[in-house]
């Protein structure tokens, strides 16, 4: 049997880490099973969906390295949804309702006041043809509800195990709004049928939707796919992931110099009991992937953990892999090897390039000391030993050692109190700039 997955974002915003996690897990599962992943843009909400977001989502997925086998847009599929709607209508599984939003709200409040569950009372089902005609004559347009079978729907969820949902306690869902536009459920199920989706992996906020989707699949005469519902991502404190915590849209992460493989490495393991480890390629992540490792407990996303992982990834990244990501003309392997152990992001790596190439305004506390040290700089082009030779000479001649020796030299040469090993930095900065900076000049 061929397997097919889908990732179905709504282009009403850019992807955040929660969406990216679902995209990744779908992609990993598909890759593991040798199937494809459809990218389905759920753009039925025409007011909030934009082309900019649709393109942004594709850009972000490509950045992560998650390719899709097919791109589909729900806005192109109106005819298929109409056909499904007609089929449901013919089968008596869909009925017109004329209540306004306020009337429904009033009913809900009354039920709640009587301590009853706020489930739609199906009064529209009892309308006579005359009553319907009267509503139409008033200018009311119907919205259409799906008549749920009042049964328990059950499935073996790949993450949650056996799930049973009693549809008797659910309102018949609205499939088509009074302006004729379909809401999420019908397009989602029709697409899953038409695109032959074998596995639906989504957030646990969709568990009750799945129960009614199972009924829709069956009502439309289709087989039911496999399901997995993943717990949502939480913030580091266990509360909901909020924008305020920052660095959660993939765009922001990318702009802050985070590597996509750090994101993939972390998101593939959050919510499992497996350790989070740096993976340099998606292939390695696929190898370690197993949907049953995900637990039902909420997974916490901590931007600090991502940053640590990114630092680890860079610390042993070879020059071949770093070159394009660094994207600096003139930067070479020696530069990369000198600084990679001291950076958490590629942005920081670029800052070190600026330190090497200048101009840098040296931080000078004691010019006399620097002038005396300058006189002791070794002759000739610098090599890895030059720093040692120089600082030994300064120590012997000027009687200064430890921090009092190293910190002023580092501050003069790099304008920073910490950083990569100075024997490497001295070689990279080179004699001319080093001499100028030791004189207190910006160079
Ligand atoms: N657009 C829906 C969402 O983002 C898709 C859910 C699904 O996977 O069916 O929640």
| Cα(202) to centroid(ligand 1), Å | 7
Question: Are residues 241 and 304 both part of a single domain?
Answer: yes
Residue 235 in any domain: the answer is yes
What is the C-alpha to C-alpha distance for residues 50 and 30, in angstroms, rounded to an integer?
Answer: 28
Are 126 and 203 within one domain?
Answer: no
Q: What are the residues whose beta carbons fall under 8 Å from the beta carbon of 305, sequence distance 6 or more?
A: 266, 276
Res 331 pLDDT > 70: yes
66/196 same-domain check: yes
Distance CA 176, CA 144 (A): 5
Is 380 contained in some domain?
Answer: yes
Mean pLDDT of 303-320: 95
> Are 251 and 334 in the same domain?
no
- pLDDT classification of 363: cutoffs 50, 70, 90: very high
* pLDDT of 333 higher than 60: yes
- How do 174-176 and 226-230 pair as beta strands? unpaired
- The answer on 306 and 190 residing in a single domain is yes
**CATH code where residue 166 lies:** 3.90.800.10
Domain housing 112? 79-176
Looking from the CA of residue 202, the nearest atom of ligand 1 is 8
CATH number at 389 reads 1.10.10.350
Whether the CB-CB separation of 9 and 15 falls below 8 Å is answered with yes
**222, 305: one domain:** yes
Helices (H) and strands (E) in the chain, counts: 18, 12
pLDDT at 244: 56
How many whole angstroms from 297 Cα to the centroid of ligand 1?
20
Residues 292 and 211 in one domain: yes
Are residues 329 and 311 part of one domain? no
Average pLDDT, the chain: 95
Cα 9 to ligand 1 centre (Å):
6
Cis amide bond preceding 359, omega within 30: yes
**Quick one: pLDDT at residue 148?**
98
Q: Confirm whether 25 is domain-assigned.
A: yes
CA 19 to ligand 1: nearest atom: 4
Distance CA 284, CA 267 (A): 14
Give helix 260-267 / helix 17-33 axis angle, nearest 10°: 80
Residue 295 CA, chain-centre distance (Å), reads: 19
Ligand 1 site residues (CB inside 6 A) read 8-10, 42, 188, 202, 206
Q: Are residues 166 and 196 in the same domain?
A: no
Residue 328 Cα distances to 81, 337, 357, angstroms: 50, 15, 12
Domain end point (choices 308, 337, 357): 357
Which atom of ligand 1 is closest in space to residue 201's alpha carbon? 8
151 domain-assigned: yes
Shared domain for 25 and 36, answered yes or no, is yes
Q: Does 243 appear as a known binding residue?
A: yes
Q: For residue 429, what are the CA distances in angstroms to 97, 173, 270, 374, 434?
A: 76, 68, 42, 15, 6
Q: Give the SS3 label for residue 231.
A: coil
Q: How far is the CA of 62 from the centre of ligand 1 (A)?
A: 19
**What is the 147 CA–ligand 1 centroid distance (Å)?**
22
Q: What is the pLDDT of residue 240?
A: 80
- pTM for the predicted model, two decimal places: 0.91
Neighbours of 403 (CB within 10 A): 9
Residue 362 lies in a domain: no
Position 432 pLDDT exceeds 90: yes
In the prediction, which pLDDT does 245 show? 56
**Same structural domain, 296 and 399:** no
Residue 417 has pLDDT above 90, yes or no: yes
How many folded domains does the chain comprise?
A: 4
Mean pLDDT, residues 334-353: 97
Tell me, yes or no, whether 83 lies in a domain. yes
- Looking at the CA of residue 7, tell me the nearest atom of ligand 1: 8
Domain boundary among 328, 357, 386: 357
* Residue 12's CATH number: 3.40.50.620
Note whether residue 236 is domain-resident: yes
- Residue-level length of the chain: 443
Q: Is the pLDDT of residue 177 over 80?
A: yes
For residue 281, give the DSSP letter.
Answer: S
Over range 330-356, report the average pLDDT.
Answer: 97
Closest CA to 430 of 370, 364, 395, 380: 380
Domain boundary at 124, 143, 176, which?
176
Q: For 79-101, how does the pLDDT look when each residue is reduced to its tens digit (9 = 90+)?
A: 999 999 999 999 999 999 999 99
CB 150 within 8 A of CB 167: yes
How many CA within 13 A on the CB side of residue 254? 17
User: Could you tell me if 188 and 60 lie in one domain?
Assistant: yes
Nearest alpha carbon, ligand 1 atom 3: 9
Tokens of 169: 């306690």
**pLDDT score of 242:** 66
Angstrom distance (rounded) from CA 197 to CA 3: 7
Is residue 45 assigned to a domain? yes
Closest by Cα among 251, 430, 222, 423 to 337? 423
Measured distance CA(224)–CA(222) in Å, rounded: 6
pLDDT (tens digit, 9 = 90+) per residue, 213-250? 999 999 999 999 999 999 999 988 888 876 655 547 89
């Amino acid at each position: 049997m061929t397997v097919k997955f889908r990732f179905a974002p709504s282009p009403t915003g850019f992807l955040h880490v929660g969406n990216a996690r679902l995209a990744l897990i779908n992609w990993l599962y598909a890759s593991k099973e040798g199937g494809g992943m459809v990218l389905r843009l759920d753009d039925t909400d025409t007011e909030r969906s934009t082309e900019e977001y649709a393109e942004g989502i594709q850009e972000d997925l490509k950045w992560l390295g998650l390719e899709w086998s097919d791109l589909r847009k729900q806005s192109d599929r109106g005819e298929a949804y109409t056909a499904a709607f007609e089929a449901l209508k013919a089968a008596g599984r869909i009925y017109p309702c004329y209540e306004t939003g306020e009337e429904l709200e009033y009913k809900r409040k009354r039920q709640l006041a009587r301590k009853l569950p706020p489930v739609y009372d199906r009064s529209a089902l009892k309308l006579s043809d005359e009553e319907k005609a009267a509503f139409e004559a008033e200018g009311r347009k119907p919205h259409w509800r799906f008549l749920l079978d009042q049964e328990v729907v059950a499935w073996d969820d790949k993450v949650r195990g056996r799930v049973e949902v009693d549809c008797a306690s659910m309102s018949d869902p609205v499939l088509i709004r009074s302006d004729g536009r379909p809401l999420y459920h019908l397009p989602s199920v029709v697409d899953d049928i038409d695109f032959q989706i074998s596995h639906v992996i989504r957030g646990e906020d969709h568990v009750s939707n799945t129960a009614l989707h199972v009924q829709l699949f069956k009502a439309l005469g289709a087989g039911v796919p496999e399901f997995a519902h993943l717990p949502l991502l939480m913030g580091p404190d266990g509360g909901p992931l909020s924008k305020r915590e920052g660095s959660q849209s993939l765009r922001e992460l990318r702009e802050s110099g985070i590597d996509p493989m750090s994101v993939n490495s972390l998101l593939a393991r959050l919510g499992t009991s497996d350790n989070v480890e740096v993976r340099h390629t998606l292939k390695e992540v696929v190898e370690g992937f197993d949907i049953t490792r995900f637990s039902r407990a909420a997974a916490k996303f901590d931007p600090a953990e991502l940053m640590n992982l990114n630092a680890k990834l860079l610390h042993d990244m070879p020059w071949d892999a770093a070159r394009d990501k660094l994207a600096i003309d003139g930067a070479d392997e020696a530069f990369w090897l000198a600084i990679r152990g001291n950076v958490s992001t590629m942005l920081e790596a670029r800052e070190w390039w600026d330190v090497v190439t200048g101009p840098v305004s040296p931080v000078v506390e004691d010019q006399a000391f620097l002038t005396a040290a300058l006189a002791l700089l070794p002759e000739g082009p610098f090599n890895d030993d030059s720093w040692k030779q120089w600082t030994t000479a300064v120590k012997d001649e000027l009687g200064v050692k430890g921090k009092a020796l190293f910190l002023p030299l580092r501050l003069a040469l790099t304008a920073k109190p910490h950083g990569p090993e100075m024997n490497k930095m001295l070689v990279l900065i080179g004699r001319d700039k080093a001499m100028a900076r030791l004189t207190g000049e910006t160079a």
